[in-house]
Amino acid sequence: MSVIQKIRDKYAAVVIAVIALSLVGFILMDALVGRRNGGGQPGGDVGKVNGQKINKNDFEKKITLQQAMYGAQAPPREQLISSAWEQTVDEAVMNQEYEKVGLQFTGKELNDVLFGPTPPQWLSQQFADPKTGMYDVNQAKQYFAQLKKQKNNPNLEMFNEAYITPTINQTLRAKYMALLSGSAYIPKWMAERTIADQNLIARFSYVNVPYSSISDSSVKVTDDDIRDYMNRHKESFKQDEASRSVSYVAFNASPSGADSLKVLSQVNNLKAEFATATDPEQFLARNGSDNPYFNGYVLGSKLQVPNADTIKKLAVGEVFGPYVDGTHYTLAKMIDLRSMPDSVKVRHILIKTGEKGQPTLPDSIAKSKIDSVEFAAKSGADFNALVLKYSDDEGSKNTKGEYTFTSEQFPNLSKEFAETAFYGAAGDKKVVKVENQAYSGYHYIEVLEQKKVETAYKIAYLAKPIEASQETINSASNQASQFAANSRNQKQFEENAGKQNLTILSVPDIKQNDYQVLALGESRPFVRWVYENKTGDVSEPQEIGDKYIVAMITGVSDKGLMSVAKARATAEPLIINEKKAQQIIASKFKGGSTIEQVAQGAGVSVMRADSVSFAQPFIANIGNEPKIAGAAFNKALQNKVSEPIAGNTGVFVIKGESISAMANTNMDIEGLRKQMEMQQKQMSGYQSIEALKKAAEVKDNRFDFY
């Protein structure tokens, strides 16, 4: 088994399939030259970052690379487009910044990174010494050297993009962050002031009339109120992207009770035949099971299915169900059970007869060679010497032919190899013939060790999806079509929804390049409709998930301040409190020279707060009130009655009584200074990079292409 196969097995979710390492010098040259040349292929530009064009063909390569890296677990293409865009903008902004400050990365540095004391994780894990677990730099260098003849490997560019370029980017970013963090400094006086502030405590009396004393329904908030509030708090209502809002009604096309009963009946009718079927694989294929047959065993401890405990108790040939598994009705049939280890350690020698369907050695010669290997190994010959001399598996030549596999890797191994390793016993020595898409040939296998042996089960699952019938789908579609035909403007839309008792739902923040719609799910076509039409337009029925929706565009928010409709949800509660505060001040706080007179006028009692900390300004029975706590530490208000203060929960009038400091002789000023400086170092890099990206002039043309 090759190193690439090991990479695939170990990191299947994040590593591209069948990537070969190549000669270091060739990689370094190709990777570094690729960074300097900006590309200029045709295909148009999907955007610009500070004037630097983002070529569509280059952008597509990033998407393709991500798809390859995720493999079968790849998310929807629309999601990959979004993540590829974020990555592209980040790289462009940072590369421009590196050039401004003169940061460089040479081939020698990359060589040091790959083969130095702290190599990238993807490299150190692949070339770990099996005895010590430490990075074997010589093994890595030897493997690179063995691949000198692979300069024309078609996967080289993908390898560069997946591994080398990110390694370069990470190192450059680390350099940049080091420059920024090196500029951080906290003086001693700041630490002393921090300690002094943290030790401050205040004591005060206060009068409070809560906002809850006035009903929300009695306060009206107009669009002009919201515009005024946004203008007074522009930073809180600024948006970097334009967005649109829609209202919609939904018509359910999910399976009905009758649909579910129909599927249940189908599954029940197959139960007896399933129990007597002698070929479960053929039976499942013939009857269209959504769960294909896995002709292998699963350890009982790793059987992650509904009703697992019940299924494990089935006799061979017995069927359990139907039961609901997600969106399926399922039958489970016990095919067989056996003892099986959770992990195995084997050593092997491979003699290939073919590779990727092309013969490389006559079968008779290969069989003769493997027989000789078997005889020599069983006669006590040095196994490592046999591996180095005969094995065609380059990936295990530096590990004496040894591999360790877990039961999860069983399906990824050649059937004959896996069965020898897992179904046999420790000490077994066997020759097996293997034929698959990658290669064909003979393995001589010795099972060295098996761990955590337990009962494993071979189970066949007949699974039928609980799907909506065509009748259910047509009914929902027809209702949606009729509603859309009769609702061509806002008035008709709202009237018809009322007549049919349909709930009008809203989505306030749809951006041009979104691929998901809040509460609806993935629907890029729907997002495109929203941006290809205007406010007040009503859509034709749109199928999203298990429903049909009819939507109306209700608002457009350009880049800058939000629209009133979008801002209302955030601003309205705050404006209500502002208006309540005005009413409370006008009606309850009409003067008074003492706190007691103020309380009497407001019709409430005087309350007292003791030991309110400057560092944690939490007021007992009130909560978090920064304005009130801040006033308590205002020396100008000591022994004086404040003006009314509109807080988070109500209107307050306070009278400061004392400001003192807790005795704290254990504080380490230098230790605190270093801690504060470290925090500043850690935050400065991240915040600076985020500021760079926010300040960048980014033109996004993705809508024209996707």
Residue 85 has pLDDT above 60, yes or no: yes
Residue 57 has pLDDT above 80, yes or no: yes
Three-class DSSP category at 488: coil
Strands 343-355 and 402-406: antiparallel
Give the model's confidence band at 502: pLDDT under 50 very low, under 70 low, under 90 confident, else very high. Answer: very high
Per-residue model confidence as pLDDT tens digits over 508-522: 889 999 999 988 988
The CA distances from residue 579 to 502, 584, 585, in Å, are 34, 9, 10
Q: Do 387 and 401 form a contact (C-beta atoms < 8 A)?
A: yes
Give the model's confidence band at 34: pLDDT under 50 very low, under 70 low, under 90 confident, else very high. Answer: very low
Residue 13 has pLDDT above 70, yes or no: no
Residue 24 has pLDDT above 70, yes or no: no
pLDDT of residue 667: 74
Give the model's confidence band at 621: pLDDT under 50 very low, under 70 low, under 90 confident, else very high. Answer: confident
Residue 56 has pLDDT above 60, yes or no: yes
Per-residue model confidence as pLDDT tens digits over 192-214: 898 888 889 999 999 999 999 99
Mean pLDDT along residues 600-620: 90
**550/483 Cα distance (integer angstroms):** 8
Residue 169 has pLDDT above 80, yes or no: yes
pLDDT of residue 561: 86
pLDDT of residue 259: 96
Give the model's confidence band at 74: pLDDT under 50 very low, under 70 low, under 90 confident, else very high. Answer: confident
Per-residue model confidence as pLDDT tens digits over 250-264: 999 999 999 999 999
Mean pLDDT along residues 595-613: 93
Give the model's confidence band at 146: pLDDT under 50 very low, under 70 low, under 90 confident, else very high. Answer: low
pLDDT of residue 153: 63
Residue 464, sorted as left (phi over 0), alpha (psi -120 to 50) or beta, turns out to be beta
The most confident of 4-8, 130-134, 546-550, by mean pLDDT: 546-550
Q: Do 455 and 338 form a contact (C-beta atoms < 8 A)?
A: yes
Per-residue model confidence as pLDDT tens digits over 441-489: 999 999 999 999 999 999 999 999 999 999 999 999 999 999 999 999 9
Domain-wise residue ranges, the chain:
3-182, 200-229+566-661, 241-254+470-558, 257-340+461-465, 343-451
Mean pLDDT of the chain: 88
Residue 644 has pLDDT above 90, yes or no: yes
Q: Which residue has the higher pLDDT, 135 or 43?
A: 135
Residue 617 has pLDDT above 90, yes or no: no
The enclosing H or E element of 350 equals strand 343-355
Residue with token string 């095919």: 335
Q: Do 523 and 544 form a contact (C-beta atoms < 8 A)?
A: yes
Residue 634 has pLDDT above 70, yes or no: yes
Per-residue model confidence as pLDDT tens digits over 386-422: 999 999 988 788 889 999 999 988 888 888 999 999 9
Residue 149 has pLDDT above 80, yes or no: no
**Percent of the chain's residues with pLDDT above 70:** 91
**Percent of the chain's residues with pLDDT above 90:** 65
**241-254+470-558 and 343-451, same CATH topology:** yes
Mean pLDDT along residues 563-587: 93
Per-residue model confidence as pLDDT tens digits over 462-471: 999 999 999 9
Mean pLDDT along residues 526-555: 95
Residue 697 has pLDDT above 80, yes or no: yes
**206/612 Cα distance (integer angstroms):** 13
Mean pLDDT along residues 268-292: 96
Q: Do 437 and 356 form a contact (C-beta atoms < 8 A)?
A: yes
pLDDT of residue 150: 63
pLDDT of residue 147: 55
Residue 351 exposed, middle or buried by CB count within 10 Å (0-12, 13-18, 19+): buried
Give the model's confidence band at 2: pLDDT under 50 very low, under 70 low, under 90 confident, else very high. Answer: very low
Residue type, 287: N
pLDDT of residue 389: 92
Q: How many other C-beta atoms lie within 10 A of the C-beta of residue 279?
A: 10
Point out the least confidently predicted range of 504-508, 523-527, 565-569, 652-656: 565-569
**423/24 Cα distance (integer angstroms):** 41
pLDDT of residue 119: 87
What proportions of the chain, in percent to the nearest 5, are helix, strand and coil? Answer: 50, 25, 30
Point out the least confidently predicted range of 28-32, 211-215, 610-614: 28-32
pLDDT of residue 135: 85
Q: Do 405 and 421 form a contact (C-beta atoms < 8 A)?
A: yes
Mean pLDDT along residues 580-586: 96
pLDDT of residue 373: 94
Q: Could you confirm whether domain 241-254+470-558 is CATH 2.40.160?
A: no
343-451 folds as: Chitinase A; domain 3 (3.10.50)
**123/103 Cα distance (integer angstroms):** 25
DSSP state, residue 185: -
Q: Do 203 and 614 form a contact (C-beta atoms < 8 A)?
A: no
Per-residue model confidence as pLDDT tens digits over 343-383: 999 999 999 999 877 889 999 999 999 999 999 999 999 99
Q: What number of CA atoms fall less than 13 Å from residue 641's CA on the CB side?
A: 15
C-alpha angle with apex 540: 539 to 542, nearest 5 degrees?
95
Mean pLDDT along residues 101-124: 87
Residue 32 has pLDDT above 70, yes or no: no
Look up residue 461 and give its two tokens.
Answer: 């699952």
- Please tell me the pTM assigned to this model: 0.68
pLDDT of residue 600: 94
pLDDT of residue 30: 42
Mean pLDDT along residues 229-240: 92
